[in-house]
Amino acid sequence: MPTPRRQKRYKLKSEINVVPYIDVMLVLLIIFMVTTPMLNSSVDVQLPQANAKSLQQKKNPVLVAVLQDGQMYLTLSGARKELVDEDTLKLKVGAFVRANPEVSVLVGGDERGSYGGVFKVLADLQQAGVAKVGLMGQPGEPTGQDKSTSHGRK
């Protein structure tokens, strides 16, 4: 005769096991800690200081001037200023910087000109292989805090 088998009924657990969730959170934390420093390495900006003195150069810098109408003038280490186009600028500055890697390249733009002209020159210099470019400017007149400029700004 068959004996009646006793069926075991398992009691349902109504608890949540949080150990796998903690493991996943620790893995995500490690991933974010590793990848976060890589996100900040895209642009290296050197900010100007308030009471900066002009830098003394051992060599004359390469000067690129952008006029109001977009014309570009190039001065290579104290030589005469010459009118250049984009391709000539890339060729001459690229060759000069490869021959003299320590030379500074400075860009000056007419304040009445468009920002696009100066931006285009900066892009051309980057394509020519210039690693560091400085922007030239005129020192302003010291003004009081309560005086406004001719542009209506304080």
Per-residue pLDDT of the chain (154 residues; tens, 9 = 90+): 566 666 677 777 778 888 889 999 999 999 999 988 777 544 444 444 445 556 566 678 888 888 888 888 888 877 788 888 989 989 998 998 888 888 888 888 877 777 788 888 889 888 888 888 888 776 655 555 444 444 444 4
Helix/strand/coil for 83 = strand
pLDDT at position 115 is 79
Q: What is the pLDDT of residue 46?
A: 43
The Cα–Cα gap between 28 and 111 comes to 49
**Region of residue 100 (left: phi > 0; alpha: psi -120 to 50; beta: else):** beta
Q: What is the CA radius of gyration of the chain?
A: 32
| pTM confidence score | 0.54
d(CA 77, CA 61): 5
pLDDT of residue 49: 44
Domains assigned to the chain: 62-135 (3.30.420.270)
